[in-house]
Structure 1
Amino acid sequence: MKHRTGAAAAVLAIGALALTACSSGGDSEPAATNADGSADYSGETLTVMHYEGEDSAMGIAWNRAIEIFEEETGATVDLQTTAFEDLNASAEQLFDSSDAPDVSEYNKGNATAGQLAAIGVIQNMDDAYAEYGWADLLGEGIDTIAMYDENGVMGSGSFYGVPNYGEFVFLYYNEDMFAEQGIEVPTTLDELEAAMAAFSDAGITPLTTSAQEYPMGQLWYQLALSQADRQWVNDYQLYENPVDWTGPEVSYANETLVDWLDNGYISSEVTGMTAEDAGLQFINGEVPMFYSGSWWYGRMLSDITGFDFGITNWPDTTLTPGSGGNMWVIPVESEQPELAKVFIDITMRPEVQALLGESGGLPVAANTDDIADADAQALIGIFNEVNDRDGLSFYPDWPTPDFYGDLNSVMQGLVNGDYDASSAATQLETYYEDYVSNVR
Structure 2
Amino acid sequence: MLTARRRVAAGAVILAGSLLLTSCGGSDGGSSDGRTLKLWHYEGPTSAMGVAWTEAVKEFEATHPGVKVTYEEKSFEQIQKTAQMVLNSSDAPDVMEYNKGNATAGLLSTQGLLTDLTAEATKRGWDKKLSAGVRTTSRYDAQGVMGSGKWYGVPNYAEYTKVFYNKDLFAKYKIAEPRTLDELTAAMDVFVENKVTPLANAGAEYMAQQYLYQLALSRADRSWVDSYELYQGRTDFHDQAWTYAATTFADWVRKGYLAKTSSGTKAEEAGVSFIRGKAPILFSGSWWYGRFQEEATFDWGSFLWPGSDLTLGSGGNLWVVPEHAKNKELAYDFIDITMSRKIQNLLGNRGGVPVAADPGAVTDPKSKQLIADFNTLSARDGLAFYPDWPVPGFYDVLVSETQKLITGGEQPDAYLDALQKAYDKGVPRR
Same-fold call, TM cutoff 0.5: yes
Question: What is the CA distance between 1:11 and its match in structure 2?
Answer: 3.9
Q: Distance in 2 between matches of 1:204 and 1:43?
A: 55
CA contact (8 A) 1:7 1:138 kept: no
Q: How does 1:35-184 map to 2 (within 5 A)?
A: 39-41=30-32, 44-74=35-65, 75-184=67-176
The equivalent position to 1:373 in structure 2, one of 364, 369, 372, is 364
Maintained 8 Å contact 2:26/2:339: no
Shift of 1:124: 0.8
C-alpha displacement at 1:78, in angstroms? 1.8
Q: Show structure 1 runs of 4+ deviating over 6 A.
A: none
Matches for 1:16-415 after TM superposition, within 5 Å: 17=26, 39-41=30-32, 44-74=35-65, 75-305=67-297, 307-415=298-406
What CA deviation, in whole Å up to 9, does each residue of 1:338-370 have, x standing for no partner? 221111111100110000111111111111111
Q: Report how far residue 6 of structure 1 moved.
A: 2.8
C-alpha separation in 2, matches of 1:210 and 1:395: 16
* Structure 2 counterpart of 1:7: 14
The answer as to whether partners of 1:7 and 1:142 remain within 8 angstroms in 2 is no
Cα gap change, 1:39 to 1:278, in 2 (>3 Å): closer
Aligned partners of 1:150 and 1:308: how far apart in 2? 48
CA contact (8 A) 1:171 1:291 kept: yes
- The alignment partner of 1:208 has SS state of coil
Helix, strand or coil at the partner of 2:165: strand
CA deviations over 1:156-213 (Å, ceiling 9, x no partner):
1111000001111111101011111111111111111111112212222111211111
Matched residue of 1:257: which SS?
Answer: helix
The runs of 5 or more residues in structure 2 that have no matched partner are 2-8
Report the Cα distance in structure 1 between the residues aligned to 2:301 and 2:39, rounded to whole angstroms: 34
Distance 1:193 1:290 in 2: 14
Q: Secondary structure at the match of 1:79?
A: strand
How far does residue 67 in structure 1 lie from its aligned partner after superposition?
1.4
Pair 1:15–1:168, CA change in 2 (3 A) = closer
The CA distance in 2 between the partners of 1:143 and 1:167, in whole Å, is 13
Deviation at 1:268, TM superposition (A): 0.9
What TM-score, normalized by structure 2, do the two folds share? 0.94
2:301 alignment partner, SS class: strand
Equivalent pair of 1:42/1:73 in contact (CA under 8 Å): no
Higher gyration radius (CA): 1
In 1, Cα distance between equivalents of 2:292 and 2:77:
21
| Matched letter for residue 7 of structure 1 | I
Identity of aligned residues (%): 44
Per the TM alignment, residue 17 of structure 1 is displaced from its structure 2 partner at its CA by: 4.7
Q: 3-state SS of the aligned residue for 2:132?
A: coil
Cα deviation digits, residues 371-413 of structure 1 (max 9, x gap):
1111211211212211121111111111122111101111111
Within 1, Cα distance between the matches of 2:166 and 2:40?
A: 34
Residue 299 (structure 1) shift: 1.3
Bigger mean CA offset, 90-99 vs 69-78: 69-78
Segment of structure 1 superposing worse, 401-410 or 65-74 = 65-74
SS in 2 for 1:255: helix
Name the CA distance, whole Å, in 2 between partners of 1:333 and 1:160. 14
Q: Deviations over 1:59-79 (max 9, x none)?
A: 111111111112222222222
TM-score, scaled relative to structure 1: 0.92
Residue identity matched to 2:358: N
Q: CA deviation at 1:43?
A: 6.3
Change (3 A) 1:192 1:241: same
- Check conservation: 1:43, 1:76, Cα contact below 8 A: no
- Aligned-residue RMSD, C-alpha: 1.6
Q: In the alignment, which residue of structure 2 is the partner of 1:33?
A: none
**Count of matched residue pairs:** 420
Question: Is this contact kept in 1: 2:312–2:383, CA < 8 A?
Answer: yes
Q: Which amino acid aligns with 1:424?
A: Y
Contact 1:328 1:344 in 2 (8 A): yes
What amino acid is aligned across from residue 330 of structure 1 in structure 2? V
Aligned equivalents of 1:213 and 1:5: distance in 2?
26
